[in-house]
Amino acid sequence: MSTMKNIYSQKIYPFLLATYRWYLQTPERSLDEAYKAVSKIKQIEDEYFNGNKIDYDSATYSSNVLDYFHVDLKKQLKIARMRLTEFKAGRWFLNEENQKAAHKAGIEYLSHTVILEKLRFIDQVISKYINVDNKTSAQNLVNQPSAPITAPTAAKLPNRNLNPKKQGKANTTGILPRSILSTITRLQVELDPNSEQDVVKNFRQAQKRTIISIRFVLLLIIIPLLTHQITKALVVTPIIEHFRSTETAQIFLNEEMEEAALSEMQRFEERIRFENLISSAPAISTEEIESRVKEKASEVAESFRQESANAIKNVFADIFSVAAFIWLLLVSKSSIAVLKDFIDHVVYGLSDSAKAFIIILFTDVFVGFHSPHGWEVILEGMSRHWGFPANRDFIFLFIATFPVILDTIFKYWIFRYLNRISPSAVATYHNMNE
């Protein structure tokens, strides 16, 4: 007993005391780290931007140098915001008893004046970058390309509206025909000595936008799949196998599995008897037939037991995959904006017949006459994937409501947006659809 007390007093108690001191010092430590991160941002502003904010549109440095500054800015902003969250959480959990315990442990907190000065300095620097956190230089691709390329591409893309602010001007009627004004504008751009630089700049921005968009789409596909496979193999499977023993595990999760197993056993037994009748070999005895059937039953039972376990694993692995997908969306706001701009450039840059073809193909597949069969296959596949019985009533109710809602959304989008952006595409769509 005395040995246990000595171990507790010499090893466990000092460790617990150090851990508790670390917990009590969490708010100040988080505030200091946030202050240091913001101080690094302020240092970059003072040394390289004359005390002004780190601006990507600055003409003083090249794009590679500005990318370097923005990577460092993004990193320090992330650290500052995370540490501020820790500071607020720590202050919220610290009550009067914790403060008394900290005073007994010899921990002296900063004065309110020092804390307020640090918070004021942090807010002063971070407030300049409200729309910059989690953004890279690619975010500027969303706002910059529309102005330079509107004029030279006006003749090629008459139905494309790259800048929503110009809709009011596009809908007004001037003294001269719009084609003459666009021709004059195009000539001005072509005679401009800086037009070549603008074309190169626009091409580089479009190239960056394409690379970022393709990479982000691949991440949206690969990361959930990898998360599903890794968590299923390393996390879910060991837990399921630990709590689900082979002997006591349920073979069938639903009646459909049981019916499938019985149907397979029935076909196997009938096949043996049929081969026994038509074969020229000596007849198989009843005992041997029963032995084969019993052996097959063991194989079928093991197969469906594994299928049931796999369905349970898929449920938990899919939860991890959805969480990874949502996390990727939350931390990739700038990439989502670039992807949206990339899709707009691709879709609105298509010809009217191509737009109409894509719309008809998409609507016929998901809300057309033959779409219920596809939805039925998808829902039954999802049910098997998770080990649920295919509820025919739910499937029929889903097919009767969801495609109708989706069709209404398509029609509203065509009427509300596409008809205003590209009326000729809508006319082509109606002609092709008829």
Confidence band for 117, pLDDT divided at 50, 70 and 90: confident
Give CA torsion, residues 243, 249, 254, 256, to 10 deg: 130
- For tokens 């041997």, name the residue: 288
**Mean pLDDT, residues 239-252 taken together:** 73
Cα–Cα distance measured from residue 380 to residue 395, given in angstroms and rounded to the nearest whole number: 8
- Could you tell me which residues come within 8 angstroms of residue 202 by beta carbon, excluding any fewer than 6 positions away? 145, 148, 149
Mean of pLDDT over the chain: 77
**Mean pLDDT, residues 280-307 taken together:** 84
Residue percentage of the chain with pLDDT more than 90: 9
- Could you tell me which residues come within 8 angstroms of residue 34 by beta carbon, excluding any fewer than 6 positions away? 79, 80, 81, 83, 84, 87, 118, 122
Cα–Cα distance measured from residue 382 to residue 396, given in angstroms and rounded to the nearest whole number: 15
Tokens of 122: 């942090």
> Could you read off the pLDDT of 385-409 as tens digits, one per residue?
888 887 888 888 998 898 889 889 9
Lowest mean pLDDT of 202-206, 207-211, 357-361, name the range: 202-206
**Which run of H or E residues covers position 140?**
helix 140-143
- Residue 319 reports pLDDT greater than 90: yes
Confidence band for 171, pLDDT divided at 50, 70 and 90: very low
- Residue 222 reports pLDDT greater than 90: yes
Confidence band for 93, pLDDT divided at 50, 70 and 90: low
Lowest mean pLDDT of 6-20, 189-203, 252-266, 321-335, name the range: 6-20
Confidence band for 228, pLDDT divided at 50, 70 and 90: very high
Cα–Cα distance measured from residue 271 to residue 231, given in angstroms and rounded to the nearest whole number: 41
- Residue 427 reports pLDDT greater than 90: no
- Residue 297 reports pLDDT greater than 80: yes
> Would you say 274 and 302 are in contact if contact means Cβ atoms under 8 Å apart?
no
Strongest mean pLDDT among 83-87, 133-137, 279-283: 83-87
Lowest mean pLDDT of 68-72, 175-179, 264-268, 300-304, name the range: 175-179
Confidence band for 38, pLDDT divided at 50, 70 and 90: confident
The domain locations on the chain are: 2-134, 178-330, 350-434
Lowest mean pLDDT of 36-40, 263-267, 360-364, 417-421, name the range: 417-421
Lowest mean pLDDT of 213-217, 326-330, 351-355, name the range: 351-355
- Residue 149 reports pLDDT greater than 80: no
Cα–Cα distance measured from residue 348 to residue 425, given in angstroms and rounded to the nearest whole number: 10
**Mean pLDDT, residues 212-218 taken together:** 92
**Mean pLDDT, residues 27-40 taken together:** 86
- Residue 28 reports pLDDT greater than 90: no
Cα–Cα distance measured from residue 20 to residue 145, given in angstroms and rounded to the nearest whole number: 54
pLDDT of residue 323: 94
- Residue 130 reports pLDDT greater than 50: yes
Cα torsion angle, 102, 107, 112, 118, sign: negative
Confidence band for 154, pLDDT divided at 50, 70 and 90: very low
Confidence band for 59, pLDDT divided at 50, 70 and 90: low
**Mean pLDDT, residues 275-303 taken together:** 83
pLDDT of residue 8: 45
Cα–Cα distance measured from residue 412 to residue 195, given in angstroms and rounded to the nearest whole number: 40
- Residue 68 reports pLDDT greater than 50: yes
Interhelix angle 352-367/423-433, rounded to 10 degrees, is 50
pLDDT of residue 249: 66
> Would you say 1 and 89 are in contact if contact means Cβ atoms under 8 Å apart?
no
Strongest mean pLDDT among 58-72, 193-207, 398-412, 414-428: 398-412
Interhelix angle 195-231/178-191, rounded to 10 degrees, is 100
User: 3-state DSSP: the chain helix, strand, coil percent, rounded to 5?
Assistant: 80, 0, 20
Strongest mean pLDDT among 2-6, 145-149, 397-401: 397-401
Cα–Cα distance measured from residue 34 to residue 404, given in angstroms and rounded to the nearest whole number: 52
- Residue 152 reports pLDDT greater than 60: no
Q: What is the pTM of this model?
A: 0.53
